[in-house]
Each structure stands twice: as structure tokens, then as C-alpha cells.
Amino acid sequence: ALERTLSIIKPDAVKKNVIGEILSRFEKAGLKIVAAKMKQLTKEEAEGFYAVHKERGFFNDLVAFMISGPVMIQALEGEGAVLKNRDLMGATNPKEAAPGTIRADFADSIDANAVHGSDSLENAANEIKYFFNDSDVVSH
Ligand code: CMP
């Protein structure tokens, strides 16, 4: 089915100047960028976005990392977009990410892991709403 998913190019990948290379992988896989913006997240925005992880030991480090520089946030649209994006990203821990995936090629550590992608269709809808107004998402 035609789906939308939220993608974030994290501060490590923005610093490496590989936004275009990552977006190109999405486009080559048939995903369309239907919303996009650069943003310096505030601590409150990062904490709210990752609220499901707030009891986890890695939460504070994750939030600190996500506000360490600007991110590029996108909504991606395509057939099976949620799983397709997760396949393109590879495993959360770059040490476990399959060769040729975004994290295998660009990530340095489990926190500085280049990209975030929604893990379910339900979370995707909530995550897109967290960052974009309905009128900022365009089908094309
Ligand atoms: P992301 O997909 O953005 O969702 C939560 C993030 O927490 C994850 O990617 C990792 O960057 C980070 N993280 C740090 N440690 C862990 C861990 N042990 N398990 C899962 N995610 C972790």
C-alpha cells in the first residue's frame, strides 16, 4: 500500500555533508520526498519526539546528540514506505547493519547512526504530525 514515513537525517550525517547522498538513496528506491526541512531541534522537541524511550538508559545521550547540530527532517511516500525505509537504513547499531545500507556506509555509533526512520505505520503518522502541518506535506 502507499504509505508515508518520517525520516530524520541526524546531526552526524548533516556534518558529513551527505544529505544529498542519503536523499538520493530514497529516491532511487522509489520513495518520494513529500515534505522536508532543516531544523535545529530544541531539547524539548528532541525529548518529546523520543518520549517512548525516556526510561531507557540511553535517553539523555540520545537527546544530547540529536541537538548537537541541525537535522534534516523529511516525510517519504511510496509503496510500503515504512519497511522500505527501514531496509535502506539497516540495523540501528551500525556494527550490525548490512553492507550497502545507509548506516553501514555513513554511521559511526549507535547514537550517531546517521538516520532515524519510523518503525511502524502508526508511529509514522504520529511522527509526521509531530514535525509537519498537513499543508506542508505534498503528494506529487
Ligand atoms: P532511532 O531510530 O533514532 O531511535 C532511537 C535511537 O536511540 C536509535 O535510533 C539510536 O540512535 C539510539 N540508541 C542508543 N542506544 C540504543 C539502544 N541500546 N537501543 C536502541 N536505540 C539506541
* Residues 38-48: tens digit of each pLDDT: 999 999 999 99
Tell me if ipTM is over 0.95. Answer: yes
pLDDT of residue 34: 98
pLDDT of residue 30: 98
DSSP codes of every residue in 99-122: TTSHHHHH--SSSS-SEEE-SSHH
53 belongs to the catalytic site: no
First CA to last CA distance, the chain: 16
Closest by CA to 38, choosing from 65, 61, 17, is 17
Which of 85, 92, 108, 111 to probe ligand 1 with, by most ligand atoms within 8 A of CB? 92
Length of the chain: 140
Closest by CA to 14, choosing from 60, 65, 51, 58, is 65
Which stretches in the chain have pLDDT values below 70?
none
CB 47 within 8 A of CB 54: yes
- Burial tier of 16 (Cβ tally within 10 Å: 0-12, 13-18, 19+): middle
**33 touches ligand 1 (CB under 6 Å):** no
This prediction has a pTM of 0.98
Which of 50, 110, 118 to probe ligand 1 with, by most ligand atoms within 8 A of CB? 110
